[in-house]
Amino acid sequence: MLAVRLHPAPSDSKPYSPSNPAPSSALRLDKVPIPKPSRQGELLIKVMATTVIRDALSWPETYATDFAIPGHDFSGVVENVFLSPEGGSRTTQFRRGDEVFGMAHTDRGSTWAEYTIVTEDEVARKPERLTWEEAASLPLSGLTAFEALFEHARIPLPAEQGKADRKLKGQRLLITGSSGGVGIYLVQMAAMAGLHVVAASSSTARNGAFLKSLGADEVVEYACLEKERASSFDLIIDTVGGEVLCRCWSWISGNGTLISVDSSSFDFVNFHQERRIREGKEDVRALFFIVKSDGDTLANLATLAELGQLKPFVLQQFELSQAREAYDRASSNSSGHGKVVIRL
């Protein structure tokens, strides 16, 4: 099969690592053997589409193995399932030919390939109304948004699918990076849950109408938040990190909840505590989490997408042979909404 692999640095150069990330030129299209399911619950997927995540070449997981195949999101067709030595399938939910989508575990990845191995709990049936590319763009960002809002922020799931009839006890939610990959799902889900959604954006002219079409009640630029919104939010979900996350402490109420999903902010609570950035907001519930793949949550996302209540967005499509260009596009600062997708 064909797969994109991350090749090591030249022998006369410093090895690639999170602190010395590989350039996109280290991504090469290679011919490698098709993997085989070898454990109970494993599925071989013929990949139809996968996504490119910004800055993935700076992740520690990328360098856990030599010649790693990047990629986590996927949509595709079940090609094979694990068979016991006695014969007969050890899986119960999926069969050869099933159309599925999902997210390979963050420690494993390997979806930038014609075939990949995943486990049953990392997949769900693909929504029929979505294209392969749209389905592939949903898992990682959709799971992150769902877990942030309904698990870690403890917002109750809507009693029934669709928008709530009234605002959830008047709770105000601020989403930073609201037009980004995770932010667009947070806006849609929070609106369904009945929260008063304030979407922070670097440009209301560029993103305002789009975010309101997703369900945002207000779209504001960060400068306006600094001037007018001190301690006014019950919940903030940050997708940006850095200076924006530091400023979130002045925007969150004294007994609110502050969550960051920015990968570089994994230790922000202790870091901000030590530097007294958190001073005066010690009662704020603050946390960072790493998304996990979960079949039940994927099925919930699929239901929402099938009903047209959760919309994925594809920014641009590339072929597998164009992985370098796809990565550069995803990691650029150029405007647009949705995921960069590799189609096979």
Residues 19, 126, single domain; the answer is yes
Q: Report d(CA 328, CA 74) in Å as an integer.
A: 19
Coil, helix or strand at residue 133:
helix
Residues 122, 147, single domain; the answer is no
Q: Is 81 a member of any domain?
A: yes
pLDDT per residue of the chain (344 residues) written in tens, 0 to 9: 999 999 999 988 999 999 999 999 999 999 999 999 988 889 999 999 999 998 899 988 899 899 999 999 999 999 999 876 665 555 568 999 999 999 998 778 899 999 999 999 999 999 999 999 999 999 999 999 999 999 999 999 875 434 444 556 679 999 999 999 999 999 999 999 999 999 999 888 899 999 999 999 999 999 888 766 677 899 999 999 999 999 999 999 999 999 999 988 999 999 999 999 999 899 999 999 999 999 999 999 999 999 999 999 999 999 999 999 999 999 887 778 999 999 99
- The pTM (predicted TM-score) of the whole model is 0.93
Q: Is 176 a member of any domain?
A: yes
Residues 172, 124, single domain; the answer is no
CA distances (Å), origin 34, targets 72, 113, 129, 256: 17, 9, 30, 49
pLDDT for the residue numbered 267: 94
Residues 88, 207, single domain; the answer is no
Give the angle subtended at the CA of 226 by the CAs of 146 and 252, to the nearest 5°.
45
The residue range of the domain holding 181 is 143-288
Q: Is 302 a member of any domain?
A: no
Residue type, 268: F
Residues 19, 133, single domain; the answer is yes
Task: Name the nearest CA neighbour of 127 among 292, 307, 295.
Answer: 307
CATH at 80: 3.90.180.10
Residues 17, 104, single domain; the answer is yes
Residues 284, 338, single domain; the answer is no
- Alpha helices (H) in the chain, listed in sequence order: 132-136, 139-146, 183-193, 204-214, 222-228, 242-251, 268-274, 295-306, 323-330
Residues 161, 175, single domain; the answer is yes
The beta strand positions in the chain, using DSSP E, are: 2-6, 27-31, 42-52, 73-81, 99-103, 115-119, 123-125, 172-175, 196-201, 218-221, 233-238, 252-260, 285-288, 314-319, 339-343
CATH at 279: 3.40.50.720
Evaluate whether 5 touches 30 at the Cβ level (below 8 Å): yes
Evaluate whether 315 touches 339 at the Cβ level (below 8 Å): yes
User: Number of structural domains, the chain?
Assistant: 2
Q: Is 112 a member of any domain?
A: yes
Evaluate whether 182 touches 291 at the Cβ level (below 8 Å): no
Q: What is the DSSP letter of 7?
A: P
pLDDT for the residue numbered 91: 55
Q: Report d(CA 220, CA 243) in Å as an integer.
A: 17
Q: Is 304 a member of any domain?
A: no
Residues 36, 125, single domain; the answer is yes
Joined tokens for residue 15: 């090895």
Residues 229, 264, single domain; the answer is yes
Q: Is 317 a member of any domain?
A: yes
Residues 169, 110, single domain; the answer is no
Q: Is 296 a member of any domain?
A: no
Q: Residue 48, exposed/middle/buried by CB under 10 A (0-12, 13-18, 19+)?
A: buried
Q: Report d(CA 225, CA 82) in Å as an integer.
A: 53
Residues 284, 149, single domain; the answer is yes
Question: Can you name the residues that pair with 27 across neighbouring β-strands?
Answer: 6
Evaluate whether 183 touches 175 at the Cβ level (below 8 Å): yes
Query: What number of CA atoms fall less than 13 Å from residue 222's CA on the CB side?
Result: 15
In the numeric block, the tokens 């006369």 are attached to 12
| Bridge pairing between strands 196-201 and 172-175 | parallel
Q: Report d(CA 292, CA 252) in Å as an integer.
A: 26
Q: Is 280 a member of any domain?
A: yes
